[in-house]
């Protein structure tokens, strides 16, 4: 059903993985897509070709407030119905050996990036619009392996979601998050390629499989739909019971 006909969605990190699935899903429902990418212009163009219509490509490194501001300057007075803060990175930050560049990169991309993007998007976002942040179950649980900072940025994104829901309620903008479990994308490719790790992880999956990009995209589409009109400030766990 093309229930999003006539609407426009900006999806950060739409070039690959979960963001790509969100672009395809919202486009299938009729939304016009503004697809943000960083390094992978070819992949972004491939997603645009798969959609086949009405796709605008925009570029920025979300670690750079200047690039984010330039991107929004280029968007001019475009009106947005949906902002999907999806782009992110998953990097090791073990205690004892983490470099300040990596610490900054994780904080800049996963936390300051969505903050800047949202701040710049607000004048374009229509009253009654929706913001969906892609957080992670890593923000709700402890994980061994030295990725604490990633979990901290995702917990912070959930906190921003709750705060923005109240801050933007006067404009009737609904703000929610989707928190996936493990999804097989380029982000997790190295991690999941280790057979022992993969087997251990699969044994912990109550529903017997990993989360897919489409599992996440379907919940994002729901949160953008009229059916979600009275939901705000929530972070929806899409982990098949991995983290409850
Ligand atoms: N995969 C999982 O298991 C999983 C689980 C829970 C939550 N998540 C979250 O879901 C979101 C998408 O993850 P994914 O698995 O789809 O990752 P992915 O396949 O690695 O794709 C990451 C996307 O983010 C963009 N990106 C990365 N660094 C950027 C930067 N500095 N500036 C702007 N854009 C940047 C990339 O753009 P380019 O390709 O153009 O560089 C790409 O489109 C992330 O926020 C991630 O934390 C993922």
User: Ligand 1 within 6 A of 133 CB?
Assistant: no
Ligand 1 atom closest to Cα of 13?
43
Instruction: Give, using CA atoms, the residue closest to atom 34 of ligand 1.
Output: 38
Let me know if 37 is a catalytic residue. Answer: no
Q: What is the mean pLDDT of the chain?
A: 97
Asked if pLDDT for residue 1 goes beyond 80, the answer is no
pLDDT of residue 54 exceeding 80, the answer is no
Average pLDDT over residues 196-200: 96
Q: Supply the pTM of this predicted model.
A: 0.98
Q: How far apart (Å, rounded) are the C-alpha atoms in residues 21 and 11?
A: 10
- Among the listed residues 37, 150, 182, 191, the single catalytic one is 150
What is the residue with the minimal CA distance to atom 18 of ligand 1? 187
- Which letter, b or e, does each residue of 16-38 get, where b requires 16 or more Cβ atoms within 10 Å of its Cβ? bbbbbbbbbbbbebebbbbbbbb
Can you give the pLDDT at residue 2?
A: 79
**Confidence class for position 143, pLDDT limits 50, 70, 90:** confident
CA Rg value for the chain: 17
What share of the chain in percent tops pLDDT 70? 100
CA of 180 to the centre of ligand 1 (A): 12
Shortest-distance Cα residue to atom 44 of ligand 1: 88
What's the pLDDT tens digit per position in 106-142? 999 999 999 999 999 999 999 999 999 999 999 999 9
| Residue closest by Cα to atom 42 of ligand 1 | 13
Does ligand 1 come within 6 angstroms of the Cβ of 19?
Answer: yes
pLDDT in tens, 162-187: 999 999 999 999 999 999 999 999 99
Residue 79 has pLDDT above 80, yes or no: yes
The Cα–Cα gap between 81 and 27 comes to: 13
pLDDT in tens, 85-105: 999 999 999 999 999 999 999
| pLDDT tens string 207-219 | 999 999 999 999 9
> Does 145 score more than 90 pLDDT?
no
* Domain 8-184+213-235, classified CATH 3.40.50.720, yes or no: yes
The CB of 38 under 6 Å from ligand 1? The reply is yes
What contacts 57, CB < 8 A, 6 or more positions away? Answer: 35, 36, 37, 41, 44, 45, 48
Q: How far does the centroid of ligand 1 lie from the alpha carbon of residue 90, in Å?
A: 8
What residues form DSSP beta bridges with 184? none
């Amino acid at each position: 059903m093309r229930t999003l006909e006539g609407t426009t969605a900006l999806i950060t990190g739409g070039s690959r993985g979960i963001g790509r699935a969100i672009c395809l899903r919202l486009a299938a429902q009729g939304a016009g897509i503004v697809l943000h990418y960083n390094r992978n212009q070819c992949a972004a163009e491939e997603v645009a070709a798969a959609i086949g219509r009405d796709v605008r490509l925009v570029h920025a490194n979300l670690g750079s407030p200047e690039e984010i501001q330039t991107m929004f300057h280029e968007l001019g007075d475009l009106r947005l119905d949906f902002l999907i803060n999806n782009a992110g990175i998953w990097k090791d930050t073990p205690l004892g050996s983490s470099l300040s560049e990596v610490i900054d990169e994780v904080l800049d991309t996963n936390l300051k990036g969505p903050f800047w993007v949202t701040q710049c998007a607000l004048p374009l976002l229509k009253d009654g619009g929706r913001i969906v942040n892609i957080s992670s179950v890593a923000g709700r649980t402890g994980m061994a392996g030295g990725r604490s900072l990633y979990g901290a940025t995702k917990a912070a994104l959930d906190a921003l979601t709750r705060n923005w829901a109240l801050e933007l309620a006067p404009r009737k903008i609904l703000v929610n998050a989707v928190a996936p479990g493990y999804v097989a994308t380029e982000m997790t490719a190295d991690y999941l390629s280790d057979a022992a790790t993969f087997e251990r992880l699969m044994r912990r999956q109550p529903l017997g499989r990993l989360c897919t990009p489409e599992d996440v995209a379907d919940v994002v589409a729901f949160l953008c739909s009229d059916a979600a009109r009275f939901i705000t400030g929530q972070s929806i766990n899409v982990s098949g019971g991995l983290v409850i």
